């Protein structure tokens, strides 16, 4: 290397012009490095050509040796020197367009990444990809760089970079597939809804969008479909590119995009291999991707959309503007995330069609690590989880017969925060998702798609609901749920068994002849009456046990959280929640069951009581057990009647224990003949070991569902805005989930403990429950005191809305820190105020009832942050907002339309990435919006949106959301019709001043930008490790501007 070093020293001056200093020892600052990088980008090619003049073939060897030196420097952690060596190697070596060229720039990009110089790393990854498009290391580097460069909100340059990367990858993949597999008709294109504005309404919001973009690649056997006339079956794999403004999108949805892309690449390789095999067979086999016997071919579409985080507008635009997205797909697989890693669970699926059932069964059969269950689907349909994905758009607007929605649901608290990064995803998550997806798509392609029913056949068939769930250690199970007509059987069978048992125990044999003796007949009638009263009493007592357990479990965490004044108290400590709520539920269940035991014992006939203590205790225990089984029968009947797939849960708990420990013992005893007409001794009750064995399978299958729903609801609660009246709602819901599972288990274990008069079992169970409850409360006190009242952690951080809001005239500007969901901001503010730099720069207004108007909502408990040092007449925060160059919204002078009370106004939203328009429901009756691309646009409204009449105590604003950014228009025409004077007077109780004040702000507009002001950066950097900014569709982005418009003038 001495010769190489000597040779290198001769070119030191030339290398210096490229911003390098090989083997130098000085450490340069960030500004110097950035200046050198810019200079190197300008002169790198020119200098490289100068160095190569007069060089011989030895320069290639020297370049390789310099790369080796760079590798050594890299391994030693000297990344700056490694970069200098790689740059020199690129100048010496004549390897442009070769594999060595790609490896060299990938190595330099890795060194840049170690120094967090991600833009340079991204550029070098692009250089490597340009030469070796199918070599995966630079793609990984590019993905890491894109993640590190920050969020990709819809309409931003960062999102455009993401689309460019995906389009390049899919184009390269398409070319390779066409070349290697001979599959023609592989196309890649970008779709946009050009010059069209649509406002679509979901269950939660109305979104106006225009020019939404999607990159799509389709693999199809065009020859077989177009020339041979084969039917086409299309499967779509969908993921979105955009992220929330506060999130790097490592899991949501960068990981999903990467999984979809890599799965398509692996599938392409399998299709190519299949094509080669078919070519070797001499042409007698079916065309690739086709089933010659059924004369159909499979096509695979890979689509990446945007605006999912902005009201699902991207998927809606896709289905509205593209025929294939609306009609062609037979199946759509949507990849999503609600957390960071873990199994990519199927949590929603359409299974009400023949194709949907085929797809579900195929997934369960071929996916090696299938995970998910219909329970999550039913929870989403219930509205308990206030969230949505592109799946809901595809379900509503496409004709796809099979729809799957997958999501990562571990570590839900990092969702939409800066900590949503790939490094936090559990290892194996990508492999789990990719293998499942690849095997399903391979099976779909091999069979040429699924067999479809015709419209007539589909209309005449009434399909039962489908139950699908995962058995840990086994896999996914798919089966038809019972039809609705059978619901009565599940309640009637336990009820009949209960009544038959009590008849045999109280009266005697069911089919025995009646005695002629009047006294015996009287006793028989009396015992029959006791039976008729005992059955409803015991069942009511068992139902009260369930309700008491669930209510106690809900109240316990809510009460403790209220005592500390901290909602979402156990988000970071689910085990503590389980101990607290579980012990409360168990204690309540034991107490109510003990009281029910007293009622059941009081109803026993005297002959039964006189036989022996063992016999009457057996009758009571069997009564309690059968009463709880009847509750399970009622639950199974109700679920079956509602036609939900989750009916499998009560059916499991009803059928398995009943068939193992109840029916085999009671049925022979009830049907026994030839004995005395007097009541016989009841059969022995099941032992605790037998009961545990009988409920082991139901517990094994349903416990993961309970744990999953608990974690999801805890995450949802921490980021769902709630009023102060119900701020502890999700604490109660989490406790109720625990209580339901505890009641399920206790329904079979507790009867044996409470039935005996002198048994210590129920006392021991109650004592353990009390000790556990007290220990959970003590643990809560300890960790709250030890952490100074903070219950959040770095892995489960508190989500916050952090934004800079200014009015359009820059007269009033504030930084706002607000809770994103059920939480308090006081501990965060205490931490900020303890920071000397923050305390010197800002003042905090965090009064208990402080509110702030975000236009689309008025948040309570917000902290308004103002600059401390002010120049007279100058608002420092307003100057920061002005310095960003962002444009506030503007309204033009309204114009009267021909219709009465209808006016037109133009709203300019500038280059904002998102905008919100709030209409006062007391002043405006309806509104319409249309994008204006030029002055000659037709100004006729496309779609009127009716504003619901105002009701006292109801909503005063009707909110419409808009998607902006690079591709969207900046000017919109707005038509609004004001309410008549009589209606307005009624709404404002004839208070003209109140009416004038409200209608003067009848239209409120807010435009959002992703630019961060210095004050927002300072507050963000000073946040504690257990608190993070959070982004959601309804919350403002980093910077927002507000403008109002008087609808009456």
Parse the chain into domains and list their residue ranges: 2-138, 152-196+212-480, 535-786
SS3 of 363-432: the string is: HHHHCCCCCECHHHHHHHHHCCCCCCCHHHHHHHHCCCCEEEEEEECCCHHHCCCCCCCHHHCCCCHHHH
What confidence tens digit (pLDDT) does each residue in 293-317 have?
889 999 899 899 888 988 888 888 8
pLDDT of residue 1037: 94
Q: How is 301-369 classified by DSSP, letter by letter? A: EEEEE--TTTTTHHHHHHHHH-HHHHTSEEEEEEEEESSS-S--EEEEEE-SSHHHHHHHHHHHHH-TT
**Predicted confidence band at 612 (pLDDT cuts at 50, 70, 90)?**
low
pLDDT of residue 191: 41
For residue 207, the cross-strand partners are: 200, 961
**Predicted confidence band at 25 (pLDDT cuts at 50, 70, 90)?**
very low
Which 8-state DSSP code applies to residue 874?
B
pLDDT of residue 864: 92
CA 367/CA 365 separation, integer angstroms: 6
Establish whether domains 2-138 and 152-196+212-480 are of one fold.
no
The residue to which tokens 């010059």 are assigned: 195
What confidence tens digit (pLDDT) does each residue in 352-387 have?
899 999 999 999 999 999 999 998 888 888 777 777
Task: Read off the pLDDT of each residue in 1-24 and give the average, rounded to a whole number.
Answer: 43
What confidence tens digit (pLDDT) does each residue in 66-91 have?
788 889 999 999 999 999 888 888 77
User: Contact, 85 vs 20, CB < 8 A?
Assistant: no
What confidence tens digit (pLDDT) does each residue in 165-180 have?
888 888 777 777 666 6
Please indicate whether residue 746 or residue 176 has the higher confidence score (pLDDT). Answer: 746
Which structure tokens are listed for 81?
């020197």
pLDDT of residue 334: 96
pTM: 0.87
CA 902/CA 292 separation, integer angstroms: 62
User: Contact, 264 vs 172, CB < 8 A?
Assistant: no
pLDDT of residue 422: 87
pLDDT at residue 29 is higher than 50: no
Q: How is 908-949 classified by DSSP, letter by letter? A: E-TT-SEEEEEEETTTEEEEEEEEESSTTS--S-S-EEEPPP
CATH of domain 152-196+212-480: 3.40.630.10
Surface-to-core class of residue 204, CB atoms within 10 Å of its CB (0-12 exposed, 13-18 middle, 19+ buried) = middle
CA 980/CA 968 separation, integer angstroms: 35
pLDDT at residue 444 is higher than 50: yes
pLDDT of residue 42: 43
CA 221/CA 1 separation, integer angstroms: 55
Ramachandran region, residue 938 (left: φ > 0; alpha: ψ -120 to 50; beta: rest): beta
**Residue 300 Cα distances to 183, 448, 871, angstroms:** 12, 10, 63
Which 8-state DSSP code applies to residue 292?
T
- Nearest Cα neighbor of 268 from 199, 220, 327 is 220
Q: What are phi and psi of 896, to 5 degrees?
A: -75, 135
pLDDT of residue 45: 37
Give me the CATH topology for the region 2-138. 1.25.40
**Predicted confidence band at 603 (pLDDT cuts at 50, 70, 90)?**
confident
């Amino acid at each position: 290397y001495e010769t190489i070093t000597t040779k290198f020293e001769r070119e030191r001056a030339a290398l210096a012009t490229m911003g390098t200093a090989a083997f130098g020892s000085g450490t340069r600052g960030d500004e110097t490095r950035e200046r050198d990088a810019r200079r190197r980008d300008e002169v790198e090619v020119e200098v490289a050509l100068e160095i190569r003049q007069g060089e011989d073939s030895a320069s290639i060897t020297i370049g390789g040796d310099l790369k080796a030196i760079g590798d050594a420097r890299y391994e030693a952690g000297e990344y700056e020197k490694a970069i200098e060596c790689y740059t020199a190697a690129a100048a010496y070596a004549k390897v442009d367009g070769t594999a060595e060229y790609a490896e060299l720039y990938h190595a330099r990009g890795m060194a840049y990444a170690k120094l967090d110089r991600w833009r340079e790393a991204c550029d070098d990854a692009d250089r490597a990809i340009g030469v070796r498009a199918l070599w995966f290391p630079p793609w990984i580097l590019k993905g890491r760089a894109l993640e590190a460069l920050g969020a990709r909100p819809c309409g931003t340059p960062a999102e455009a970079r993401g689309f460019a990367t995906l389009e390049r990858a899919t184009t390269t993949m398409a070319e390779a597939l066409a070349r290697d597999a001979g599959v023609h008709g592989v196309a890649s294109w970008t779709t946009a809804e050009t010059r069209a504005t649509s406002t679509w309404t979901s269950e939660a919001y109305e979104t106006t969008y225009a020019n939404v973009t999607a990159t799509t690649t389709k693999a199809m056997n065009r020859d077989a479909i177009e020339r041979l006339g084969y039917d086409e079956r299309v499967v779509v794999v969908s993921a979105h590119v955009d992220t929330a403004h506060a999130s790097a999108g490592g899991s949501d949805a960068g990981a999903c995009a990467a999984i979809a892309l890599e799965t398509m690449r692996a599938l392409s390789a399998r299709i190519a291999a299949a094509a080669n095999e078919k070519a070797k067979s001499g042409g007698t086999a079916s065309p690739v991707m086709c089933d010659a016997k059924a004369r159909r071919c499979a096509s695979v579409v890979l689509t990446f959309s945007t605006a999912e985080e902005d009201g699902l507008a991207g998927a809606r635009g896709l289905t509205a503007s593209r025929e294939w997205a609306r009609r062609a797909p037979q199946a759509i697989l949507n990849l999503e995330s609600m957390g960071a890693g873990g199994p990519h669970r199927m949590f929603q699926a359409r299974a009400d069609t023949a194709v949907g059932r085929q797809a579900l069964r195929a997934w369960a059969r071929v996916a090696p690590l299938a995970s998910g269950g219909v329970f999550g689907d039913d929870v989403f349909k219930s509205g308990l989880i206030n969230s949505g994905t592109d799946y809901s758009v595809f379900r509503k607007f496409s004709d796809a017969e099979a729809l799957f929605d997958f999501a990562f649901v571990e570590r839900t608290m990092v969702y939409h925060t800066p900590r949503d990064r790939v490094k936090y995803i559990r290892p194996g998550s990508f492999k789990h998702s990719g293998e499942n997806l690849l095997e399903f798509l391979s099976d779909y392609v091999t069979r040429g798609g699924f067999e479809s029913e015709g419209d007539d056949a589909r209309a005449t068939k009434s399909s039962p609901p489908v139950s699908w769930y995962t058995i840990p250690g086994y896999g996914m199970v798919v089966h038809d749920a019972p039809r609705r007509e059978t619901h009565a059987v599940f309640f009637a069978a336990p009820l009949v068994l209960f009544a038959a048992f009590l008849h045999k125990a109280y009266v005697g044999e069911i089919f025995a002849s009646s005695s002629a003796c009047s006294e015996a007949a009287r006793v028989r009638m009396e015992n029959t009456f006791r039976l008729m009263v005992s059955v409803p009493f015991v069942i009511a007592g068992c139902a009260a046990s369930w309700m008491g357990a669930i209510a106690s479990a809900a109240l316990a965490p809510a009460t403790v959280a209220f005592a500390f004044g901290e909602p979402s108290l156990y988000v970071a400590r689910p085990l503590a929640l389980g101990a607290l709520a579980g012990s409360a539920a168990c204690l309540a269940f034991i107490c109510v069951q003990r009281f029910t035991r007293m009622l059941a014992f009081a109803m026993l006939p005297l002959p039964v009581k006189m036989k022996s203590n063992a016999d009457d205790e057996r009758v009571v225990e069997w009564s309690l057990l059968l009463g709880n089984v009847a509750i399970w029968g009622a639950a199974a009947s109700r679920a079956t009647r509602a036609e939900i797939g989750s009916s499998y849960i009560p059916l499991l708990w009803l059928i398995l224990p009943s068939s193992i420990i109840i029916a085999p013992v009671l049925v022979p005893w009830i049907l026994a003949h030839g004995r005395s007409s007097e009541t016989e001794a009841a059969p022995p009750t099941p032992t605790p070991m037998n009961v545990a064995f009988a409920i082991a399978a139901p517990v094994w299958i349903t416990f993961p569902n309970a744990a999953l729903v608990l974690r999801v609801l805890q995450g949802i609660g921490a980021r769902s805005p709630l009023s102060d009246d119900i701020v502890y709602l999700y604490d109660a819901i989490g406790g109720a989930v625990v209580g339901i599972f505890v009641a399920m288990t206790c329904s079979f274990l507790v009867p044996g403990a409470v039935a005996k008069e002198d048994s210590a079992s129920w006392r021991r169970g109650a004592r353990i429950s009390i000790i556990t409850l007290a220990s959970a409360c003590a643990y809560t006190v300890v960790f709250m005191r030890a952490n100074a009242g903070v219950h959040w952690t770095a892995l489960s951080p508190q989500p916050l809305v952090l934004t800079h809001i200014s009015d359009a005239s820059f007269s009033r500007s504030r930084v706002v820190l607000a809770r994103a969901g059920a939480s308090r901001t006081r501990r965060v503010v205490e931490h900020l105020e303890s920071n000397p730099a923050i305390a010197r720069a800002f003042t905090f207004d965090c009064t208990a009832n402080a509110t702030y108007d975000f236009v689309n909502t008025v948040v309570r408990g917000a902290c308004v942050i103002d600059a401390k040092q002010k120049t007279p007449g100058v608002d420092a925060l307003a100057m920061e907002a002005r310095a960003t160059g962002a444009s506030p919204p503007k309204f033009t002078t309204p114009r009267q339309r021909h219709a009465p009370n209808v006016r037109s106004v133009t709203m300019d939203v500038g280059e904002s990435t998102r905008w919100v328009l709030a209409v006062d429901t007391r002043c405006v009756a309806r509104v319409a919006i249309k994008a204006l691309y030029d002055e000659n646009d037709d100004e006729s409204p496309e779609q009127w949106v009716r504003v619901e009449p105002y009701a006292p105590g109801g909503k005063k604003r009707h909110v419409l959301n808009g998607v902006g950014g690079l591709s969207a228009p900046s000017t919109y025409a707005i038509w609004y019709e004001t309410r008549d004077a009589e209606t307005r007077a009624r709404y404002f109780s004839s208070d003209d001043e109140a009416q004038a004040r409200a209608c003067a702000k009848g239209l409120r507009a807010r435009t959002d930008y992703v630019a961060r002001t210095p004050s927002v950066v300072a507050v963000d950097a000073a946040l504690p490790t257990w608190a993070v900014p959070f982004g959601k569709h309804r919350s403002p982005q980093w910077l927002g501007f507000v403008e109002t418009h008087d609808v009456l003038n």
